[in-house]
Amino acid sequence: MCTFPVSRFLTFHRSPFTFHGLYSLSLAVILMAGCATSLKREGQCLASLTPDYLHAQEELASLEVSWHRSMTRRDAELNRTQPWLLASTALRHDLSPSSPPGAPPPVPAHYDSAGKDSREAYRRLIEARSRHQPLLAWYDKVYERVRTRTDEEAILSDVRLLLITGPGVVFYPLIRWNVHSVFWDGADPDAESDPVTRYCAERLVQVVALAEAVPGSVP
Over the stretch 33-65, which tens digit does the pLDDT of each residue have?
A: 455 688 889 999 999 999 999 999 999 999 999
Distance CA 60, CA 108 (A): 31
Contact by Cβ (8 Å): 164, 9? yes
218 domain residue, yes or no: no
183 domain residue, yes or no: yes
- Counted domains in the chain: 1
- More reliable by pLDDT, 70 or 195: 195
What's the mean pLDDT in 20-29?
A: 45
What's the mean pLDDT in 117-124?
A: 91
Q: Give 109-141 as a DSSP string.
A: HHHHHHHHHHHHHHHHHHHHHHHHHHHHHHHHH
Question: pLDDT by residue (tens digit) across 78-113?
Answer: 676 555 454 444 444 444 445 455 545 455 555 567
Its domain, for residue 21, covers 6-213
Query: What pLDDT, on a 0 to 100 scale, did the predictor assign at position 16?
Result: 40
Q: How confident is the model at residue 217 (pLDDT cuts 50, 70, 90)?
A: low
140 domain residue, yes or no: yes
89 domain residue, yes or no: yes
Q: What is the pTM of this model?
A: 0.68
Query: What pLDDT, on a 0 to 100 scale, did the predictor assign at position 35?
Result: 52
- More reliable by pLDDT, 15 or 110: 110
219 domain residue, yes or no: no
Highest mean pLDDT, choosing among 19-33, 83-97, 109-123: 109-123
Query: What pLDDT, on a 0 to 100 scale, did the predictor assign at position 20?
Result: 44
Which of the residue ranges 14-23, 114-123, 133-142 would you say has the lowest mean pLDDT?
A: 14-23
Question: pLDDT by residue (tens digit) across 163-205?
Answer: 877 787 788 888 888 998 899 988 899 898 999 999 999 999 9
Residues 6+ apart with CB under 8 A from 189: 38, 145, 149, 196, 197
30 domain residue, yes or no: yes
Contact by Cβ (8 Å): 56, 132? yes
Distance CA 126, CA 124 (A): 6
167 domain residue, yes or no: yes
Q: In 73-113, at which residue ranges do the beta strands (DSSP E only) sit?
A: none
Q: How confident is the model at residue 122 (pLDDT cuts 50, 70, 90)?
A: very high
Query: What pLDDT, on a 0 to 100 scale, did the predictor assign at position 37?
Result: 84
Q: Does the pLDDT value for residue 116 go beyond 90?
A: no
